[in-house]
Amino acid sequence: MPPGTVPLNPVDKVLKYVDEHEDISMATGGILVVKGAAPDLAALRDHVGNRLNQAPVLTFRLDRAHGGWRRQDPGVDLRHHVGERVLEPGDDPMAAIFDLPDLSLRRPLWDLTLLRGHEPDEYLVCYRTHHMFQDGSSLFATIEALFGRRRLPLPSVPGPDGGGPLRGRGRRAGARESAARASRMVKSVLTDPGFPLRRRTPWLPNRQPFTGECLLRAIDLDIRQLQDVARAAEATVNQVCLATLTGAFRMWTPREWQAPHGRRDLTIWVPVNLRPPDRAGALSNSVGVLPVTLACGRSSPREHLGQVMEQTSGQRIQAYRDRGRALAGIPSPVARRIIYRYLDPGLINACVSTLRVAPRLSVLGDPVRTVLAIPAMTPIQRLIVAIVQYETSVTVCMLAEKSLAADDSPTTPDHLGKLCGEALADLHRAYT
């Protein structure tokens, strides 16, 4: 492999396989909603060009011949990466985002699009990337480098702990730590397998037809209510958000929980970040999987939150981080089988990620008002949720299979968004 090439990790390879074999887009990204008059496209390109030294990950492209990531030589031509869509007044900018062309494998796997014209005093900046190029944590780290104060290091070959390269005594210490981590992982698997051992009938939304088309819906949660519940229950805001979804899912599919043959719970998976604090240059998909069983079959909001807190304890998250890092040493076909288990709707029903974005982002001096996430859709599950915390807002972003929004669908994403507000209000009443 040429010097400076960062090899694809097992998750990258699985996502590359999905991209090549499944009829689904692997694009993911973030959207900045900005108040004010849209900037000139040339000025935005100049700004991005001046920030490339703070986000060198944007200069890497897929080297398919060697199975890794390497720097583009010559440099990045921003005409291929920074563009705009001029919309008509009243147009839906989200629909325009899903109409953007696929990312090209011949260039670094990202683009930035300015969307303007839909509102007189608002514009959007959408950063998209391929899910094997970046995960949610790393793509928002890149957005923070482009429009905030973050400075990312040059991506490098990771060591066994997810950090930089190891040499000499550090390599031997890393081997000892890897052995200890493997021992802990075996013990944790025996006590907590990670997903139901028996397949069940898929959850109602996952029984809807597959069209391959998606739509994005977003709803803001009441930050005051979230913080009140978190303080009263000694929980985190993320945990309160997951409990809110528990109640919303329960109300969204009420017949799923009815006795005598109804479900008692709903298993989702939550991505956990495997990177060191510096984000390791924000290159590739470096997430593990934390299965969380939501108590949707119970009516008590307190039970909803209690089970979430138990399932997302620091000790359990660390155990699953160890498992995720252990995947780095297994063959790709084995990793693919493991990851596809987490996409099996008979075992795991949905993905819910929680993302925190640095405050005070701005686009050429205009403050960013709202930040939205575009999760990557899986080839099997019909609903992916990302909860974004930015400044004083918490936004639930729902990427849904288009069939869920059909006129005859019993599970529309718009209805789920409304129920999130109701479920949070129920939690707030239970704790205050």
The Cα–Cα gap between 97 and 317 comes to: 34
Q: Which residues lie below 8 Å from residue 236, measured CB to CB, with a gap of 6+?
A: 230
The answer to whether residue 351 is domain-embedded is yes
Query: Domain check: are 254 and 132 in the same one?
Result: no
CATH of the domain at 329: 3.30.559.30
The Cα–Cα gap between 108 and 106 comes to: 7
Contact of 115 with 97, CB cutoff 8 Å = yes
Mean pLDDT across the stretch 409-417?
Answer: 94
| Residue tagged 């924000």 (tokens) | 282
Query: Domain check: are 193 and 319 in the same one?
Result: yes
Query: Domain check: are 132 and 253 in the same one?
Result: no
The Cα–Cα gap between 246 and 58 comes to: 37
Mean pLDDT across the stretch 357-374?
Answer: 98
**Mutual angle of helices 10-21 and 332-343, in 10-degree steps:** 70
Query: Domain check: are 103 and 187 in the same one?
Result: no
Q: Count H helices, E strands: the chain?
A: 11, 15
**How far is residue 401 from each of residues 218, 268, 377, measured CA to CA in Å?**
14, 17, 8
| Tokens found for residue 138 | 């790393």
Please report the beta strands in 295-392, taking only residues with DSSP state E, as ranges in sequence order.
Answer: 350-357, 362-363, 366-374, 383-390
What percent of the chain has a predicted confidence (pLDDT) above 90? 66
Give the per-residue pLDDT at 399.
96
Give the per-residue pLDDT at 190.
53
The answer to whether residue 366 is domain-embedded is no
| Higher-confidence position of 196 and 405 | 405
Query: Domain check: are 207 and 140 in the same one?
Result: no
Query: Domain check: are 425 and 380 in the same one?
Result: yes
Looking at residue 152, what DSSP letter applies? Answer: P
The Cα–Cα gap between 428 and 305 comes to: 11
Q: Which of 147, 170, 188 is the last residue of a domain?
A: 147
- The answer, yes or no, to whether residue 165 has pLDDT greater than 60, is no
The answer to whether residue 215 is domain-embedded is yes
Q: Which of 19-28, 134-143, 208-217, 247-256 has the lowest mean pLDDT?
A: 19-28
The Cα–Cα gap between 115 and 356 comes to: 24
Query: Domain check: are 123 and 80 in the same one?
Result: yes
Q: Which residues lie below 8 Å from residue 305, measured CB to CB, with a gap of 6+?
A: 229, 233, 235, 239, 240, 243, 246, 427
- The answer, yes or no, to whether residue 162 has pLDDT greater than 50, is no
Give the per-residue pLDDT at 303.
98
- Residue 119's pLDDT band (cuts 50, 70, 90): very high
- The answer, yes or no, to whether residue 280 has pLDDT greater than 80, is no
Q: What is the CA angle 410-271-403, rounded to 5? A: 20
Contact of 137 with 273, CB cutoff 8 Å = yes
Query: Domain check: are 283 and 201 in the same one?
Result: yes
Closest CA to 269 of 338, 180, 216, 194: 194
The answer to whether residue 249 is domain-embedded is yes
The Cα–Cα gap between 119 and 97 comes to: 16
Q: Which of 60-69, 309-318, 363-372 has the lowest mean pLDDT?
A: 60-69
User: What residues make up the domain containing 74?
Assistant: 6-147
Q: Which residues lie below 8 Å from residue 418, measured CB to CB, with a gap of 6+?
A: 219
CATH of the domain at 25: 3.30.559.10
- The answer, yes or no, to whether residue 60 has pLDDT greater than 70, is yes
Contact of 246 with 308, CB cutoff 8 Å = yes
How many domains would you assign to the chain? 2
